[in-house]
């Protein structure tokens, strides 16, 4: 849509309607010494060609750094088909799917997304997505307390620290007590299920390690078992959560076709058993047939305050922007069964890099346990000085004081073996 600026006549009419004579009358409550009285020193305008040329000159100053940052946001290649589909006008301006007679395309896209998430996790139902991984996990905590009425949950310290902070914010408002479970050798350790409603773990956990879900399930007795995942690409290599009798699966779906974008937007994934479907927040799209027997899609569940009585609402949270779920659906459809090959490539790169780093004096692998595409190493500071232009990973000391000089390193297909070998060469010089 073209931008049409106001002219003097428009301004005069608006001021008259408001009941003031001058624009500055609108700012009479602002101290005069804070009001600009001279012209801003703004350069002259540029033509489109001149502007592109200027931006190009600025862009040339950028330096390409190798980055091994992960911890919840991952650099993956996004096929061009994803952007081509989600850029179509019927999707970018899609109507909120309350009225199925004009929203079949949007509803089908959400349905396909839900179906793929269920196939990956092994769970019975998935909703139309949440804001991000942190809010989907916090909402699952609320689901657990509603199901059994106990206002306490157990949360492993190997869950992403930022996710735990979001959970604490939700917990304060809902008078829920969060009991943190310690870890040993990088994995969730002993916990007492007495008096709690759920045990919440991350898998792969924040250190990239694979938790023993079967063991945690056996120890949790009648607790609801909730998992969080920040790198769902790992699902293409690991057993479905349903095989470990997980009750609620949550995740951050950014890895599925969504750019990192300096931290957002994300894609909150939540899937659960059929028994708990009416406790799920957000929306659920289902398949049906019309009076002529033709296949169609409708909203089958909407449990927000906007749709039902407040005391019966599961949440006031809205469904995530449909474009993010659509991007994930397109991404997963493109890769299909090849998603497992991509997952193995990511893991092979991480295993190779971890093994090579471990052979260098001054670098130690902190946890000797199976991991996916992230691992923790302890690095002496004089080694870090050799690679000032490389983002070697996330310093964990800020979140785990006991892990001094330890870094969480992530490898994806966007850190090919040539880059790994280059870093290894620079470290050993």
Alpha helices (runs of H) in 210-338, residue ranges in sequence order: 213-219, 322-335
Residue 368 CB neighbour total at 10 angstroms: 10
Contacts of 252 (CB under 8 A, 6+ apart): 72, 73, 132, 133, 134, 136, 229, 230, 232, 266, 267, 268, 269
Residue 306 CB neighbour total at 10 angstroms: 11
What does the alpha-carbon distance between residue 257 and residue 78 come to, in Å, rounded to a whole number? 5
Nearest to 103 by CA among 276, 320, 296, 388: 296
Residue 32 in tokens: 């005069």
Residue with tokens 């008259």: 16
CA dihedral 395, 75, 62, 66 (to 10 degrees): 60
Q: Which listed CATH number (3.40.190.170, 3.40.50.300, 3.90.1150.10, 3.40.1410.10) goes with 337-428?
A: 3.90.1150.10
Contacts of 109 (CB under 8 A, 6+ apart): 91, 322, 325, 326, 329
What does the alpha-carbon distance between residue 292 and residue 288 come to, in Å, rounded to a whole number? 11
- The structural domains of the chain, with segments of one domain joined by +, span 80-335, 337-428
Burial of residue 197 (CB within 10 Å: 0-12, 13-18, 19+) is buried
Q: Which listed CATH number (2.60.40.10, 3.40.640.10, 3.10.180.10, 3.40.50.740) goes with 80-335?
A: 3.40.640.10
Residue 225 in tokens: 């078992």
Which whole-number Å values give the CA distances from 66 to 127, 214, 315, 419, in the listed order?
36, 37, 41, 7
Per-residue pLDDT of the chain in tens (429 residues, 90 and over written 9): 466 778 889 999 999 999 998 888 999 899 989 998 888 888 889 999 999 999 999 999 988 889 999 999 999 999 999 999 998 887 766 566 667 777 888 889 999 999 999 999 999 999 989 889 999 999 999 999 999 889 999 999 999 999 999 999 999 989 999 999 999 999 999 999 899 999 999 999 999 999 999 999 999 989 999 999 999 999 999 999 999 999 999 999 999 999 998 888 899 999 999 999 988 888 889 999 989 999 999 888 876 655 666 666 667 666 556 889 999 999 999 999 999 999 999 999 999 999 999 999 999 999 999 999 999 999 999 999 999 889 999 999 999 999 999 999 999 999 999 999 999 999 998
């Amino acid at each position: 849509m073209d931008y049409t600026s106001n002219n003097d006549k428009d301004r005069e009419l608006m001021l008259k309607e408001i009941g003031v004579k001058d624009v500055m009358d609108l700012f009479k409550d602002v101290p005069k010494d804070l009001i600009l009285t001279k012209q801003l020193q703004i350069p002259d305008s540029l033509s489109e060609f001149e502007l592109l040329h200027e931006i190009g000159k600025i862009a040339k100053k950028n330096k390409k750094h190798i980055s091994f940052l992960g911890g919840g946001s991952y650099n993956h290649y996004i096929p061009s088909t994803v952007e081509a589909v989600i850029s179509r006008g019927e999707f970018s301006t899609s109507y909120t799917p309350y009225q199925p007679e004009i929203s079949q395309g949007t509803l089908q896209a959400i349905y396909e997304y839900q179906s793929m998430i269920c196939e990956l996790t092994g769970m019975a139902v998935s909703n139309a997505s949440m804001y991000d991984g942190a809010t989907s996990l916090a909402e699952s905590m609320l689901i657990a307390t509603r199901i059994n009425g106990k206002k306490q949950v157990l949360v492993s310290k190997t869950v992403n620290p930022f996710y735990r902070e979001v959970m604490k914010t939700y917990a304060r408002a809902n008078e829920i007590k969060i009991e943190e479970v310690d870890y040993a050798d990088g994995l969730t350790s002993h916990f007492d299920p007495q008096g709690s409603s759920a045990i919440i773990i991350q898998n792969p956990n924040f250190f990239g390690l694979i938790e023993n879900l079967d063991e945690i399930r056996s120890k949790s007795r009648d607790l609801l078992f909730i998992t969080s995942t920040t790198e769902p690409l790992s699902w293409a290599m690991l057993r479905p959560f349903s095989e470990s009798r997980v009750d609620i699966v949550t995740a951050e779906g950014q890895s599925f076709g969504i750019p990192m974008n300096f931290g957002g937007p994300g894609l909150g994934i939540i899937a659960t058993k059929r028994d708990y479907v009416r406790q799920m927040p957000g929306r659920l799209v289902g398949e049906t047939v019309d009076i002529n027997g033709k296949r169609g899609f409708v909203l089958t569940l909407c449990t927000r305050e906007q749709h039902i009585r407040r005391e019966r609402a599961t949440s006031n949270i809205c469904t995530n922007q449909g474009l993010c779920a659509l991007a994930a659906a397109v991404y997963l459809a493109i890769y299909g069964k090849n998603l497992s090959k991509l997952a193995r490539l990511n893991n092979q790169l991480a295993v190779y890099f971890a093994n090579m780093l471990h052979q260098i004096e001054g670098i130690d692998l902190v946890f000797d346990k199976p991991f996916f595409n992230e691992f923790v190493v302890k690095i002496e500071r004089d080694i870090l000085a050799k690679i000032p232009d490389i983002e070697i990973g996330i310093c964990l000391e800020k979140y785990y004081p006991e892990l001094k000089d330890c870094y969480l390193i992530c490898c994806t297909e966007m850190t090919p073996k040539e880059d790994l070998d280059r870093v290894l060469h620079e470290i050993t010089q």
